[in-house]
Amino acid sequence: MKRLSLAAILASSIAGGAWAENFALLVGASTYDNLDERFWLTGPANDVDLVRTYLTTTAPVPFAPENVTVLADGLEGGTKPTLAAIREAFAQIAARAQQGDFVYLHFSGHGTQAPAINPETEIDGLDEMFLPVDIGPWNDTVGTVENALVDDEIGVLIGAIRAKGATVWAVFDSCHSGTVTRGAPSGDDEDEVRLRKLSPETLGVTQAALDDAATRSRALPDPRTRPESPVGDALMGDGDGAFVAFYAAQTNETTPEKRLPKGKPGRRSQGVFTYTIFETLAEKPGLTYRQLGQEVMRKYAVQNLALSTPMFEGDLDAHVFSGEASGKITQWPVSQSDFGLSVKAGHLQGLTQGEVLAILPSPASTLNEALGYVEVTFVDTFTAEAEGIDHEGLAAYDEADLPRGAYVRRLQEPVDFTLTVALPDADGPALPNALFEAIAQLQTDLGTTGRVQFVPAGSEADVRLAVLPESRRPDAVWMLPGSGMFENEKQGQIPSIGTDGRDAAEVAALLRDNLETMSRAINLLRLGGQYDNTGLRIDLRLQTKNKQNRNLRDLDLASVPVLLPDDQVHILTRNDKDFPVDVNVLHIGSDYSISHFYSGRLNPGDQLKKGLFRITDEAFGRDRVVVIISPAQPQTPVEDLRFLAQDAVAVTRGQTTGGSGFSAALQEAGFGTVTRGAMALEDDSGPAPAILQFDIDTKPAR
């Protein structure tokens, strides 16, 4: 038997009668020796620091520090991430790994594409590459980029670990190609957003080599076909150990790094993909890989984090880190410190300065047993400090009385329903007079309601107003996502309002209508993240068929399926619980429309098999199917959420439906008057509702 340190024993689990260990290789490439400094990155080292801290202090199955290999420049304790160092680290893990072990691999840095060494292995004729810091130029003689880590080699390196019987989860926070246009300022720092990709031309790949690769491309015959794996099919081959891969972007996309967490003091450059994954795991550590991927996509939509489409593949129904199912974490250990009380949670768990927490004698205590209350006075990524306050009739808690094993628990989960709108850049193109007057009118009308908050250009926002002279509508005001960026070929999917021939009152009315419509759709997705979907798991599938293929087949929801006009979407689900549930199905279009397609009750054992909608040619882009499942009480009306449909807004705004508290929360999200809602986290009535989101890309037929 292997000799293990105490830390390794505590970080291990028993598998097949032998100790199973957890290993990690964390690679963060930031400063590239042979590239101009303008191509350097700042986020990869921070990604590795975040992941290392999470694995060794917070993960549900912790990793012993000596089992975590760090290859990151600019990080204390890290080794320079050269190609040789990466290969050596892989070899060491493969030598140590045994049956039942778990290995986490993380790659943050630049990616690129180059003509494939073995063209028959790549549909597009290009190899995807991760770039170590000693990357060299394209070598036309041998047909490769010097010191690049090519997708096929990554497959071989991972295969050697899986052959030992170890489970591997690999996360790639890099990208390969694609073009992006900055439409509006999105931060007060010119380095706020950086893209993790290098064009092949930057590395000296000749146009002749790229043209030759294009002639060998084997384009997919059907745009609905699942996109090619960004790091090669070699990863998905047979092996003794299970395998899961998370990719930040498809092969024709980019992925950004930004200063995160948004709006928090002390934020720093992080890979958006990396931060979102570990923020989600800190909140809900017992997810399956599939649930984790779906929540990452929901956060991308709500927070306007990136334009890229992450991909998830492998054994997605296993639990992350080979752990166990668990619900959302809303309580954390607390101890005395020099600054009051120290809480083992921070920004990553969603804590905010000023938040009130209850002190409980044990994690199993109820809120009725609270010893007192504290207010959060300081927060960083993984920890917080708190001080006692008077609350709920109890005097300020004395830190000296803190019992051993005490916990603090969140009282409510806040949801901010305010739509933040950034004004056009004052230093940019001159604003049309009608637009200038319309914005002034809207600031007066909507600013007083609290539901819409206007902020200066460059501030963090949900929507950015911009005038783009180079666009196809130079007279229009564009309503860009919070990232401030959009792809040139997708201009038709971004809302815009022409000003030619319209006075200020007309422009203001159209802007107001659009903002209210966008707010309702965004807030419905915001609310979805506050409910813990692990407590009400029901097997649910979305299926499709069309005139060419009339047989229903499951949509691959892990890869954001592509659908074309006339494709149909169906739902198939069964209530396998011992109590009835109400099911509502809505569709949020890329144009922010909300359509309601079904509401009904499923008693135990009932099956729902129903066609929902057909894709039209009226709007294309990222659509979302939202399925809301709520426990039903006997002899109560079915929870009917058709009032959420945008067409019903004018009739139902300000009214109540007579439904549950959950229904009231939904009304507040889109049709009420409050700007901030909150839901109690303890409820004796049974499981909380579940809000499931599934993304679909709709494209025009060729």
Mean pLDDT in each 10-residue stretch from start to end of the chain (702 residues)?
Answer: 40 50 97 91 95 95 95 90 97 96 96 72 71 86 79 90 94 68 47 71 72 60 73 60 91 83 84 95 92 90 80 92 84 90 94 93 92 95 94 88 94 82 83 85 77 86 87 84 64 77 91 87 82 73 93 90 92 93 90 88 95 84 89 88 61 34 60 41 57 84 68
Fill in the DSSP letter of residue 174: -
Q: Shortest CA distance to 536 belongs to which of 477, 481, 602? A: 602
In a 3-state reduction of DSSP, which class is residue 602? strand
C-alpha span between 357 and 351 (Å, rounded): 10
The total number of residues written for the chain in this structure: 702
Is the separation of the CB atoms in 560 and 576 below 8 Å? no
pLDDT at position 80, please? Answer: 96
The structure tokens 């804590």 sit at: 351
Task: Give me 674's structure tokens.
Answer: 């409050």
Task: Give me 385's structure tokens.
Answer: 């400090």
Burial of 49 (0-12, 13-18, 19+ CB in 10 A): buried
In a 3-state reduction of DSSP, which class is residue 666? helix
Give all domains of the chain, ordered by start, each with its CATH number: 21-179+190-322 (3.40.50.1460), 331-410 (no CATH), 419-525 (3.40.50), 530-698 (2.60.40.10)
Task: Give me 302's structure tokens.
Answer: 């709500």
Fill in the DSSP letter of residue 471: S
Task: Give me 327's structure tokens.
Answer: 């619900």
In a 3-state reduction of DSSP, which class is residue 106? strand
Q: Shortest CA distance to 598 belongs to which of 542, 658, 560, 547? A: 542
Facing residues of 622 across strands?
697
pLDDT at position 482, please? Answer: 79
Residue 440 phi/psi, 5-degree rounding, is -60, -40
In 192-255, beta strands by DSSP E: 193-195, 243-247
Is the separation of the CB atoms in 514 and 497 below 8 Å? yes
pLDDT at position 504, please? Answer: 92
The structure tokens 């803190």 sit at: 402
C-alpha span between 435 and 426 (Å, rounded): 13
In a 3-state reduction of DSSP, which class is residue 188? coil
Q: State the CB neighbour count (10 A cutoff) for residue 343.
A: 26
- pLDDT tens, position by position, 576-618: 999 999 999 999 887 788 889 999 999 999 999 999 999 887 7
C-alpha span between 38 and 652 (Å, rounded): 53
CA–CA–CA angle 426, 430, 434 (5° rounding): 105
Is the separation of the CB atoms in 271 and 670 below 8 Å? no
Residues 6+ apart with CB under 8 A from 423: 439, 454, 455, 456, 457, 465
Q: What is the pTM of this model?
A: 0.85
Q: Tell me how far the alpha carbon of residue 463 is from its chain's centroid.
A: 18
Please report, in angstroms and rounded to a whole number, the separation of the first and last CA atoms in the chain.
61
Is the separation of the CB atoms in 360 and 407 below 8 Å? yes
The structure tokens 């668990």 sit at: 326
Fill in the DSSP letter of residue 527: H
pLDDT at position 7, please? Answer: 42
Task: Give me 371's structure tokens.
Answer: 């010893």
Residues 6+ apart with CB under 8 A from 377: 339, 340, 353, 385, 386, 387
Burial of 232 (0-12, 13-18, 19+ CB in 10 A): buried
- pLDDT tens, position by position, 404-462: 999 999 987 777 888 899 998 877 777 788 888 998 888 888 766 667 888 998 888 88
Q: Shortest CA distance to 533 belongs to which of 633, 627, 637, 411? A: 627
C-alpha span between 345 and 456 (Å, rounded): 32
The structure tokens 């019987």 sit at: 165
The answer, yes or no, to whether the previous bond of 403 is cis (omega within 30 of 0) is: no
Average of per-residue pLDDT values in the chain: 82
pLDDT at position 475, please? Answer: 85
Is the separation of the CB atoms in 444 and 454 below 8 Å? no
Region label for 119, one of left (φ > 0), alpha (ψ between -120 and 50) or beta (otherwise): alpha
C-alpha span between 698 and 186 (Å, rounded): 27
